[in-house]
Chains A and B, each alone.
Chain A
Amino acid sequence: MKKSFSFAGISLLLIAVQTTAIHLLNLEGVIPDLLSIWVVYIALTEGQMEAMLWGFAVGLMLDLTAQDFIGLSTLTKMLCGFLAGYFYNENKTQIVLGSYRFILIVFIVTFVQNVVYFVVFTQGSEINLLHAVVQYGLTTTLYTAIVTTFPVFLFSRRSPI
């Protein structure tokens, strides 16, 4: 229960940062996706089920906050938790979190999530899907993966190895 409250608190904090202060990290219109890193972290530490549920909740809260396209972040963050859950290994959690694998998982999951996001987002418009995925999806994914190096650095210092 205590863990749930902590997760809820961190989630709310990250949503607040993602919707407000994240613009300080804006690079040519591209911002890192902190919530995806958070959902991947939950998946790697708690498993697929929890990651899906937290991904769903976090995405829904983000949608309600942004009031833009309700349901789209709910879908993509839940999907993010589902995919990241496949990399869950109870015995190697700390090793994965403190290594390049965390970055790699974040990269893969965020990329897939972005593809799904743009597939839905570009419907009914003249925007080219491939162009949107490469220009925004891939850059956001790369930026998010780069930002993931900070938690990796922190976890590697705490790692027993």
Chain B
Amino acid sequence: MQRLFNIIRLFKEYVVFALLLFLSLGILSLNDNRQIRAIRSYTVGLIGFTQNAFSIIPNVLQLREENRVLRQLNVNLTDEVSRLREARIENMRLRSMLKMKDRSVFRLVAADVVGKSLQLMRNTITIDVGTAQGVEPDMAIISPGGLVGRVISSSRNYSVGQIILNKDFRASALVERSRVDCIVVWSGIGQTVHLKNIAKKQDVRFGDVVVTSGYSGLYPPDIVIGTVSAVTETPGSLFKDADVTLSTDFSTLEQAFVILQKPDPERMQLEQKTTGAR
């Protein structure tokens, strides 16, 4: 402290000069004329320039705070991007469903898939439409991709659907190109089904599109089931097998339509009575 006083005493003229200068400028700044306004303007410009010049020197505390804010912003934006992406995908899916609904000749009711059991041999889905919307058992369920399955039970607002990936599923189908009849069954593994009862001489090729035939009465005709991905001929057998890759991706299935059309009960009753088949 004594040293400080000594320094001040040594430079007392300069200290007093600085004080008087400060006082003089203070008194000057009390004026509100054009000169002082101009000087204020220059001063603001000078301070801005100085701040700008020194802004290249990083301020650690400020940087830390800025980093924190940016990190938070990044999290928020990432979250928003994710939600937007989801909305975009949903939008695309809904648009595609809307197009399908427009061109469909059937009366359709849209449904959200609210439950799935894709792990078991008896795979089913639960959809959020029921008898209140006119949905009843044995109505076909479709998606923009193609056939999904059929309704097996309904409550007022929900229905359970048996999907193609179910060991009890059977559908009468035909190869669109060659009009070969066959039956579609699920092998129990993956998302591939088999075409059964194809005679060796019948024309089934890789890439052929398989659609419902409408013979069984359960599913309306010409609903796409999938595409032939492999044809296997077993030596000594009269028939050949074909694998069909389904056009509906059940792992991403979120929306579906129920065709509000029931099989003709008289026909079903007669066929059941005669053959026991459905």
A residues within 8 Å of B by Cβ? Answer: 48-49, 52-53, 56, 59-60, 63, 69-72, 74-75, 78-79, 82, 85, 120-125
Given A70-B31, A71-B30, the answer on whether A123 and B39 have CB atoms closer than 8 Å is yes
Whether the pair A124, B24 counts as a contact (CB closer than 8 A) is: no
| Min CB gap A140→B, angstroms | 19
Given A49-B12, A123-B34, A124-B35, the answer on whether A70 and B20 have CB atoms closer than 8 Å is no
CA A52 to CA B12, docked complex, whole Å: 12
Whether the pair A49, B33 counts as a contact (CB closer than 8 A) is: no
Q: Is B28 an interface residue (CB 8 A)?
A: yes
Residues on B with beta carbons closer than 8 Å to the beta carbon of A120: 28, 35, 39
Whether the pair A124, B34 counts as a contact (CB closer than 8 A) is: yes
| Min CB gap A133→B, angstroms | 16
**Which DSSP category, helix, strand, loop or mixed, fits chain B's interface?**
helix
| Min CB gap A4→B, angstroms | 17
Give which listed residue, B16, B26, B28, B34, contacts A52 with CB less than 8 A: B16
B residues within 8 Å of A by Cβ? Answer: 12-13, 16-17, 20-21, 23-31, 33-39, 41-42
> A49-B13, A74-B28, A75-B25 known; 17 other A-B pairs, CB under 8 Å?
A56-B20, A63-B27, A69-B28, A70-B31, A71-B28, A71-B29, A72-B28, A74-B24, A75-B24, A75-B28, A78-B20, A78-B24, A120-B39, A123-B39, A124-B34, A124-B38, A124-B39
21 contacts between A and B (CB under 8 A): A52-B13, A52-B17, A53-B20, A56-B23, A59-B24, A60-B27, A69-B28, A69-B31, A69-B35, A70-B28, A70-B30, A71-B25, A71-B28, A71-B29, A71-B31, A74-B23, A75-B21, A75-B27, A78-B20, A82-B17, A123-B35
CA A40 to CA B21, docked complex, whole Å: 18
Whether the pair B21, A78 counts as a contact (CB closer than 8 A) is: yes
CA A5 to CA B209, docked complex, whole Å: 118
Q: Which of B16, B20, B31, B41 has the most CB of A within 10 A?
A: B20
CA A52 to CA B27, docked complex, whole Å: 16
Residues on A with beta carbons closer than 8 Å to the beta carbon of B27: 60, 63, 70-71, 74-75
CA A56 to CA B27, docked complex, whole Å: 11
Closest B residue to A77 by CB, please name it: B24
